[in-house]
Amino acid sequence: MDQNEAKIRIEKLKVKIKDLNYKYFVLDQSEVSESVRDSLKRELIDLETQFPEFITPDSPTQRVGSVLSSRFKEQTHTTPKMSLADVFSAEEIRDWSERIKKLVSTPMEFVCELKIDGLNITIQYEKGLFVRALTRGDGKTGEDVTHTIKTIESIPLKLNEEIDLEVSGEVYLPKKSFEELNLSQAANDLPPFANPRNAAAGSVRQLDPQVSASRKLDMFCYHIDRNTLHENIKTQEDVLKSLQHQGLRICASYKKFPNIDEVIKFCDLWHKKRESLPFEIDGIVIKVNDLEQQKVMGFTAKAPRFAVAYKFPAAQVSSKILDIILQIGRTGAVTPVAVMTPTLVAGSTVSRATLHNEDEIRKKDIRIGDTVIIQKAGDVIPEVVEVIKDLRTGNEKEFIFPENCPVCGSPIERREDESAYYCTNKNCFAREKEGIIHFVSKKAFNIDGLGEKLVNQFLEAGLIRDAADIFLLKPEDVMGLELFQEKRTNNLFTSVENSKTIALERFLFALGIRYLGEQSSYDFAKFIVAHLQDKMNFNIHDLLEIVKTFTIDEIENIDGIGEKIGVTLHEWFNDEKNQAYLEKLSTVGIILTTTTLDSTGALAGKSFVLTGTLVDFTRDQAKDLIKQKGGKIHSSISKDTDYLVAGEAAGSKLKKAQELGINIIDESEFKKLLG
């Protein structure tokens, strides 16, 4: 990026961030998630670091806190209020630790506190009596919200000692109170609050204190700004204990650690169990425990050096689309993919995101060069949520679908009643390659060590033409390939051999038949088992002979299959090329098992949809457990869904389930169902 481009980008970012901050802090509105605001600000910080000549006093990076609302009386803070610097990974936590370690001569201890997702408030006591409560404001001047903060029952109006004390903390709305508040909003035909943080901010800024009192706000205190007995407090741990001693509420989940490794473990622990809390947290605050060491470390212009705020991996962040390319799937579907600036989202760096299809691109008006909000769908596949159009410069380019496949050059076509384009060449190299990659994937044959790169290597070397050839390879065939030594070769062939015994439903899924997903593969497998005469294990030739006897009507009427999948299955198994492929597979020693097809378990007949992240299960483990108990897995919510299992950061499926009155259960309830 040259100097002129940087200047334009910086100005665009400043305007957008200021607008988002005004809506978030003053109007209590969330146009985008906090993590998106964070990522835009981080981009601005990076650009201003590279081009400091464009830093201006009005940049969002040059001040602390939020814009004053002007609805309340302004009051100057007796001590300035500073924000904490944010860190987003274990590596950044370690970097911070290494920097501050150089500033002191003695070993450091750390105190970790849960970062409450609420509104920062300062309370002033004189001779032990509550006299004033202020918002952070711009760090120097805050809004006087004494009338609403006094309504919070957990805040004492009189301390246990007659001292002058100024404390900071976080006012928040508990999850249960948030749910009750939104029910009340709905009953009165009022719009719901987007999240507990916005609801807390709106409640604090009520002119009528009775409204605030009705919303059951709460507060955790964590910092002493001014104290007449300060000499008795030597550590941050002392600070928390002293606050508690005076009758102020603290979050008891804080913990002291002797090293940064234990700090990182604490951060990981609470990232996994945050949903178990009765209030929202968005990270962990990490502080040097010793107050004398804190003094030595001091402050930068904007933040203390002795503390940082670790933000949990963001569910949504911003990124820039550098290009749009096309990928050809195993069914020939042509999928547009955004190539983006590498961005950390939900704990991993992504540089590509699916754009789904042409209609989606047009609907969201996505262009090459756009700044977009991205998220992980189902915590796995990144997708573009929306375009931040305010950041457009006029140089963005619309994407036009080509007329030919980018791999084989054959025409691509859009079928009637479908949103996707398809390569018309059934023998397209890309289709064959993707079919093999799907065949060996985790949910299919699960051949450990055989991924996309190795499949490409085998195809380019002419060692395989289809998935059946994998089982015909010999160790001497691959030993000459790059990076193949004896140990890797032995591990690969052990994995290939172990994969030859496979559950029937996984084998059907591995075939990559269009429309046949995990659940429909399971449903079809159960129908096949009913015609096996109690065989536990059988070969692929037996499978082909059985399926060839099924009429199209029989397949369509299988529970969970339907007309579209039924037609496709009947055509696929009666295609001569596919039959030859199955016969080839039958000669390599693959054994199909039926032991997983239990339809009499505790969840028999029940259908499940999963959303969000589970703590004690991966998504695949949860699906397998449901199927083992006789239940069904579906990818989308419908009126026929029995249960939605809602994990951390549940998405749009949760809202739809609420609208349809579907039974929504959390992870602990899910465990009870599993027994």
User: Helices 518-529 and 540-547, interaxial angle, to 10°?
Assistant: 80
Euclidean distance between CA atoms 543 and 117, whole angstroms: 56
Which element (helix H / strand E) includes 381? strand 381-387
215 CB-contact burial (10 Å; exposed 0-12 / middle 13-18 / buried 19+): buried
Q: How many Å apart are CA 505 and CA 509, to the nearest integer?
A: 6
Q: How many CB atoms lie within 10 A of CB 262?
A: 14
φ, ψ of residue 7 to 5 degrees: the values are -60, -45
100 in Cβ contact with 94 (< 8 Å): no
* Helix (H) or strand (E) segment spanning residue 282: strand 281-288
Residue (of 127, 165, 153, 148) closest to 73 by Cα position: 148
Sign of torsion, CA 229 232 238 244? negative
Residue among 213, 74, 221 at smallest CA distance from 156:
221
Angle at 416 between CA 413 and CA 422, to 5 degrees: 30
Q: CA triplet 649, 654, 655: central angle to 5 degrees?
A: 120
3-state secondary structure 84-147: CEEECCHHHHHHHHHHHHCCCCCCCCEEEEEEECCEEEEEEEECCEEEEEEECCCCCEEEECHH
Please list the active-site residues: 115
Contact assessment for residue 312 and residue 271, using Cβ atoms and an 8 Å cutoff: yes
CA–CA gap between residue 155 and residue 248 (Å, rounded): 6
Query: 23: closest CA among 212, 201, 185?
Result: 201
Length of the chain: 675
For residue 193, give the DSSP letter: P
* Cα angle value 22/28/30 (rounded, 5°): 80
Which one-letter DSSP state was computed for residue 315? S
